[in-house]
Chains A and B, each alone.
Chain A
Amino acid sequence: MTQIVPDNRKISPSLVFFLIHSMQIGVGVLGFQRIIAKSAGYDAWISILIAGLAVHIIVWMMYKMLRIADGDILAIHTYLLGKKAAKILCSILILYFVLLTTAVLRNFIEIVQVWMFPHLHTFWFGLVFLLLVLYVIFGGFRTVTGIAFFSVLLPLYILFLFLYTVPFSDFTNMLPILDHSIKDILLSSRDMSFSIVGFETLLFFYPFIKNPEKSKKWAHLGIAYTTFAYFYLAIITFAYFPEAQLDKNVWPTLTLWKIIEMPFVERFEYIGIANWCLIILPNICLALWCVSRLTKQIFSVQQRRALPVLALLVLVGISLLVTRDQINTVTNITGKFGFYFNFVYVPILFIVILITKKVRSHGKDT
């Protein structure tokens, strides 16, 4: 039922590392510290590790399911429910990814508007950005992966720039360790998971991986690296800001950059924000690619026809969101959906599919 992906469209397994990692890193990185510190305070770094561990488990489940169904998310559902029901169920995901794209893009534009250009038109910037996204996706999945690859490699230098804050940091801020209850820490982990969702795209691009068994290792490495990046950033932030000050900063990462002064450049945050353009690009490209592929499979529309329509939807979406409250609402809805999909629905699906497989193979035997 699903078309077989031609070999020259597939990507080598090691690139899964970049896909997973780049999808998990997005606008969330600029402001997650405040959100996770709300429940668990400066013990939240433990929450990051817990959330990272949870993602590892979920991805392990995903790989198992994908192998059983031998296909993508639609194949999994078809395996369980049959064609029709699968299509209906999966069309909800279209909405999710469109919302996700809208939230990411609008959040980024908001940051630009607050920090750089108060007069930036959401519509015009969104239009040009989405045209870029279309240009990428029309190049096929390999180009999308390429963008993910460069969006991980090129901004790597930023990780080192954070060290500029160390002379102004007090690492004892995090002491005493475990000053919060387990419940608080778990709550923080849940808040953290909003930032690190995105790896569910694996369920869509799985058929595009050459030798998917080999890619497992890379997917897990990607998650580990993401967890490390968030962890590193959280430690740097917690040491730099006292808790009460962190609570006042909506985008602590950007505030961190304000202290950087180099002989040829002062005030790194402007370069950083511009750089983030490259970091959210794969987020949006991959998400839109997933939806367009899903629409193709569900409604049998060509991807090249579906994409402009979907992009237009996103463009309308970002233009309609004006105030920070509206933006936050959409972000929260997407975050919640992502959380429940990844951490609740996927495990359930996993158990169901295991049972079904047992029953079916049992049925065959007797």
Chain B
Amino acid sequence: MERIRNFLLLIPLFFLLVGCVEKETVDDINLINGIGFDYAEEGRIIGTILFPVFMKDQPPENKILTAEAAIKKSVLQDIQKQSADPIVTGKMRVVLFGEELSTKQGILELVDAFQRDPGVGSGIYLATVDGTAEEILKGKYGIKGNAAHIANLLDQNVKREDLPKTNLQRFLADFYQKGKTPYIPQIKKISDENVELSGVGLFKSGKIIDTITQDKMFFFKLLVDKFSEGMHRVGIEKGDAAIRSIRSSHNFELTGRNPFEVTVKIRVEGVINEFTGNELTPKITKQLAKQFEEDIARECMYFVKRFQEKEIDPVGFGHFVKTQERNFNIDKWWAAEYPKLVVKIKPDVTITEAGVIQ
């Protein structure tokens, strides 16, 4: 009995060869790092994929393949016909959408394909392009490859500068969240060696309908992110100052119900990095802080008005009110309550340091 059992344990080892699964050996596949979609005529799309060809002691070479098709999977299929190795999506870093595509046709179907694909991570960056995606992917940026460069660019701006937190999961969460609309960063090619972050694109049901420009992103981040960092220039009579917000937080409070009134408290703790005037006295510091507060209130109010007009809500006022209200009706909210929503901004700026110079 013992002997038979031991023997039985060996059999599968031989038969296992039959049960083998398909391999994806790392050097025999093309790892898509970045993919871009552009609008072609009659609802068709042009897909551009970017994969690195790694070389010894050299920056990876950017390889680009393009195809035109009706949906994403068939784009990949068409591209596959041009490639010697299988194309896999598991190491995707950035997905770019051309301007025309994101304003005319919308990106929902494409994004849906990404959330369905178990190979694609939730941390990938989505971005729209001022121009066409193909154009951007064709440049040559940085030493780590184009996709890595764009991804790092966005990453860096989220962590240290004034781009709000963003990735595929954030986009999906905002999209699915009732009472909130999604946004993604916008990038722009400035030369063959350079891209820049040019703003934030605001979506309504999958289409971009508004863009926030680079210089206003600081205030946008204050509104949408719970905690943020970033730099803002404040001007008073005595001179201009660059204030770096090192710690800031916002807080929502429902202060009225008919019509709904939300008070947003924004607390900023900043340091002065640069001052063009002669002397930085405590009085001037106070003035600067005051001016900064005014700037915040003005800009944020302007944003909220704009959002209400365009019927979008990247800040998530709807979601916030829903958490405070039982039996919240989302349809009624969009139709009647959101346009009438009163938002009050209460900024509170503290300047803690003024650099190493007195």
Residues of A within 8 A of B (CB): 114-115, 117-121, 123-125, 127-128, 131, 135, 138, 167-168, 170, 172-173, 175-176, 179, 240-245, 248, 254-255, 258-259, 261, 266-267, 269, 304
Q: Is the CB of A172 within 8 A of B320?
A: yes
Distance in Å from the Cβ of B122 to the closest Cβ of chain A?
Answer: 4
List of A residues within 8 angstroms of B122 by Cβ: 255, 258-259
B355 located at the interface, meaning its Cβ lies under 8 Å from any Cβ of chain A in the complex: no
Measured in the bound complex, the distance between the Cα atoms of B173 and A255 in whole Å is 13
Measured in the bound complex, the distance between the Cα atoms of B177 and A254 in whole Å is 20
Q: Is the CB of B324 within 8 A of A168?
A: no
Q: Is the CB of B121 within 8 A of A125?
A: no
The listed residue (B21, B173, B320) touching A168 by CB distance below 8 A is: B173
The listed residue (B15, B121, B177) touching A124 by CB distance below 8 A is: B15
The listed residue (A115, A117, A248) touching B22 by CB distance below 8 A is: A117
The listed residue (A173, A175, A258) touching B121 by CB distance below 8 A is: A258
Distance in Å from the Cβ of A42 to the closest Cβ of chain B?
Answer: 10
Q: Is the CB of B326 within 8 A of A168?
A: no
B305 located at the interface, meaning its Cβ lies under 8 Å from any Cβ of chain A in the complex: no
Among B172, B175, B324, B325, max chain A CB count under 10 A is at B172
Q: Is the CB of A245 within 8 A of B176?
A: yes
Residue of A at shortest CB range from B227? A167
With contacts defined as CB atoms under 8 Å apart, how many contacts are there between chain A and chain B in the complex?
87
Interface membership of chain B positions 18-46, coded 1 if the CB is closer than 8 angstroms to chain A and 0 otherwise: 11011000000000000000000000000
Q: Is the CB of B173 within 8 A of A241?
A: yes
Q: Is the CB of A176 within 8 A of B323?
A: yes
- A118 with B324, Cβ < 8 A, contacts A259-B122, A267-B121 known: no
Distance in Å from the Cβ of B318 to the closest Cβ of chain A?
Answer: 12
The listed residue (A121, A255, A304) touching B19 by CB distance below 8 A is: A121
The listed residue (A125, A176, A266) touching B325 by CB distance below 8 A is: A176
Q: Is the CB of A124 within 8 A of B22?
A: no
Interface membership of chain B positions 164-204, coded 1 if the CB is closer than 8 angstroms to chain A and 0 otherwise: 01010110110111100000000000000000000000000
List of B residues within 8 angstroms of A243 by Cβ: 176, 178
Distance in Å from the Cβ of B238 to the closest Cβ of chain A?
Answer: 40
List of B residues within 8 angstroms of A248 by Cβ: 115, 176
Q: Is the CB of B123 within 8 A of A259?
A: yes
Distance in Å from the Cβ of A118 to the closest Cβ of chain B?
Answer: 7
**Complex A-B: 16 CB contacts under 8 Å:** A119-B22, A120-B19, A127-B15, A131-B9, A167-B165, A168-B167, A170-B173, A173-B323, A175-B324, A176-B325, A176-B326, A240-B173, A242-B173, A244-B178, A245-B173, A248-B115
- A242 with B12, Cβ < 8 A, contacts A124-B18, A261-B123 known: no
By Cβ-Cβ distance, the 7 closest A-B pairs, closest first, are: A124-B19, A175-B323, A245-B176, A242-B177, A244-B176, A117-B21, A258-B122
B282 located at the interface, meaning its Cβ lies under 8 Å from any Cβ of chain A in the complex: no
B8 located at the interface, meaning its Cβ lies under 8 Å from any Cβ of chain A in the complex: yes
Q: Is the CB of A128 within 8 A of B118?
A: no
List of B residues within 8 angstroms of A115 by Cβ: 118
Distance in Å from the Cβ of B276 to the closest Cβ of chain A?
Answer: 37
Measured in the bound complex, the distance between the Cα atoms of B197 and A114 in whole Å is 37
- A120 with B323, Cβ < 8 A, contacts A170-B173, A242-B176, A245-B172 known: no
Besides the contacts A170-B319, A242-B178, what 9 more A-B pairs have beta carbons closer than 8 Å? A124-B18, A170-B173, A170-B177, A172-B319, A179-B327, A242-B177, A255-B122, A258-B123, A269-B118
B16 located at the interface, meaning its Cβ lies under 8 Å from any Cβ of chain A in the complex: yes
Q: Is the CB of B118 within 8 A of A114?
A: yes
Residue of A at shortest CB range from B15? A124
List of B residues within 8 angstroms of A118 by Cβ: 22
The listed residue (B21, B120, B167, B323) touching A172 by CB distance below 8 A is: B323
Measured in the bound complex, the distance between the Cα atoms of B168 and A258 in whole Å is 11
Distance in Å from the Cβ of B184 to the closest Cβ of chain A?
Answer: 15
List of B residues within 8 angstroms of A127 by Cβ: 12, 15
Distance in Å from the Cβ of A40 to the closest Cβ of chain B?
Answer: 14
Distance in Å from the Cβ of B173 to the closest Cβ of chain A?
Answer: 5
List of B residues within 8 angstroms of A114 by Cβ: 118
List of B residues within 8 angstroms of A167 by Cβ: 165
- A124 with B16, Cβ < 8 A, contacts A242-B177, A255-B122, A267-B121 known: yes
Distance in Å from the Cβ of B150 to the closest Cβ of chain A?
Answer: 17
Measured in the bound complex, the distance between the Cα atoms of B227 and A167 in whole Å is 11
Q: Is the CB of A120 within 8 A of B178?
A: no
Measured in the bound complex, the distance between the Cα atoms of B324 and A172 in whole Å is 9
Q: Is the CB of B9 within 8 A of A135?
A: yes
List of A residues within 8 angstroms of B319 by Cβ: 170, 172
Residues 198 to 254 of chain B near chain A (Cβ within 8 Å): none
Residue of B at shortest CB range from A117? B21
Measured in the bound complex, the distance between the Cα atoms of B172 and A135 in whole Å is 45
Measured in the bound complex, the distance between the Cα atoms of B119 and A115 in whole Å is 8
List of A residues within 8 angstroms of B323 by Cβ: 172-173, 175-176
Residue of B at shortest CB range from A120? B21
List of B residues within 8 angstroms of A173 by Cβ: 323
The listed residue (B9, B121, B177) touching A266 by CB distance below 8 A is: B121
